[in-house]
Structure 1
């Protein structure tokens, strides 16, 4: 069996040492190679090799993210030029992408070693932001600066002008990102099996006031209008440009840009549906049980959960 190489991608601020120690102990037993970005060398034990960020993907067979959805999105963006399977270990709050809880990690790593997993392909948005190329796996958003006016932008599709927006923010998302900022702005939930680009205004004042769904073959262009308030540009929640009052964003859809490890696709799908229920839909007591860690579910056994109040 070939030696597996794991690249660790760490949450920038959370204490990840218990999970890293678990991975390091497993790697020692299975002669696995571990690497981490050089800037994180002080957060990992000695056997984990620090490498430049631009080399981490090339030196890894699988990327293991320790954090929440944001950490996994960062790993997907890092690997967009050379997609590698990404396994997410959950240290966040309400993750829709990550699948593995820390107690499940040793068994999950065993599955990686024997290749007993499936790979879920994810699309991304390839964005030209005033000449800078960036990618977004969830969304790209134009967001107003509080107290300094509104986002005022025109919409064009494949070069054809369609209208304008005047709103608090403009969110363009993938189907995966439809459960994030776009959903909070009132956008629709899009099946991950769908290929689409969704543009949603938040708190529209005038102009286009509803979500618009485009095909993956169309190029969307948002251009700030004269008189627009200063705008921040966010990619997957990270601010990449601030206080912009002019310029344009061109957005194209790219299929199969990222690969996510799935160990139990059916269970993952059920848990994601239940997390959506926490946001918007009534939850049955027996469904709530499935959100609990496996160890607690075993303790509960066949005992009934109390009815929702």
Structure 2
């Protein structure tokens, strides 16, 4: 997003959660836009959730005209916004109306000052890679599973045109550095630094064949092939079901680096908070260190409560 002198030419696009209330945040954004001369639009499918003050446009027009996207929801909404603008280098700002919010730095109470910081150019852009598999894009992961519940799959692996054996187990996860802290992490896979141009393949509950995670580079081309003659497999993209992987069909997977830029204000604090959420800290933190990870508005609220209800000295 541009500096304050360019704000009058900005068009901000809103992506909103399908059912969580976000109108308070929408109104904050509208006031900011009126004050700076920016325009605010949303997709036609979100018209009821953003209210009558926001102009709505068809999806294809939305992607073509936005200069920045503000995601109001959780990580799922954020991932949808990222997939929508992949390759356009349109900055995406996340506002957490969800739960954990690994991708999202800004709480709704922090939105107004965040917009002011953006207008002043006091932010950085954090590039994120994605996986491209045939006609789908994943910023977290692609997961292949058996079509029948409680059944195992057999999946052949090919890397850069060479056969590398097969997987047999519950599932196979292909994940980006961003997605390495999701299902991949729960399955015992490696956590990959966001700065690494790499992706991982992790088997879930392997029974035979390849039994350990593998990390691959940005130039590696992976093919996952269904060797069955009659049994389809299922696969999902960022947690959303995709078309089945039919018998004999293959999934061609590559890493695309620098696919989307996410707006960051304090990348170090955001990383520390995510470490706490994942319980990845090597050493316990002192109370004063934990306090530093709490968003400022919550710290102020806690201090007001402490002053209002002082502890009983007994």
Settle same-fold status: TM greater than 0.5.
Answer: yes
Q: 1:185 to 1:245 in 2, by over 3 A?
A: farther
Given the alignment, which residue of 39, 45, 53 partners 1:47?
A: 53
Q: How big is each residue's C-alpha offset from its partner over 1:21-52, in whole Å with a ceiling of 9 and x where there is no partner?
A: 22223222332200000111122232311011
- How many residues align structurally? 298
2:40 counterpart residue number: 34
Distance in 1 separating the partners of 2:119 and 2:25? 18
Distance apart, 1:242 and its partner CA: 3.7
Structure 2 partner of 1:295? 297
Which structure 2 residues correspond to residues 275-290 of structure 1 after superposition, within 5 A? 275-277=277-279, 283-284=284-285, 285-290=287-292
Structure 1 residue ranges without an equivalent (≥5): 304-309
Contact 1:271 1:290 in 2 (8 A): no
1:140-289 correspondence to structure 2 within 5 Å: 140-147=142-149, 149-226=151-228, 230-242=232-244, 244-277=246-279, 283-284=284-285, 285-289=287-291
What RMSD in Å do the two structures reach over aligned CA positions?
2.2
Match in the other structure for 1:307: none
Give the Cα–Cα distance (whole angstroms) in 2 for the partners of residues 171 and 40 of structure 1: 31
Q: After the TM superposition, which segments of 4 or more aligned residues of structure 1 sit over 3 Å from their partners?
A: 145-148, 227-230, 242-246, 279-283, 285-288, 290-293
Residue 280 to residue 204, structure 1, CA distance change in 2 (3 Å): farther
Instruction: Map 1:77-88 onto structure 2 (within 5 A).
Output: 77-88=83-94
Query: What is the CA distance between 1:102 and its match in structure 2?
Result: 0.4
Q: What are the equivalent positions in structure 2 for 1:94-173 lying under 5 Å apart?
A: 94-128=100-134, 133-147=135-149, 149-173=151-175
| TM-score, normalisation: structure 2 | 0.88
1:196-252 Cα distance to aligned partner (Å, 9 max, x none) = 120001111111111011121110110012168542211111111247444111111
Distance 1:236 1:51 in 2: 25
User: Normalising by structure 1, what TM-score?
Assistant: 0.89
| More displaced stretch, 236-245 vs 50-59 | 236-245
Aligned residue for 1:192, secondary structure, equals: coil
Q: Does 1:75 align with 2:77?
A: no
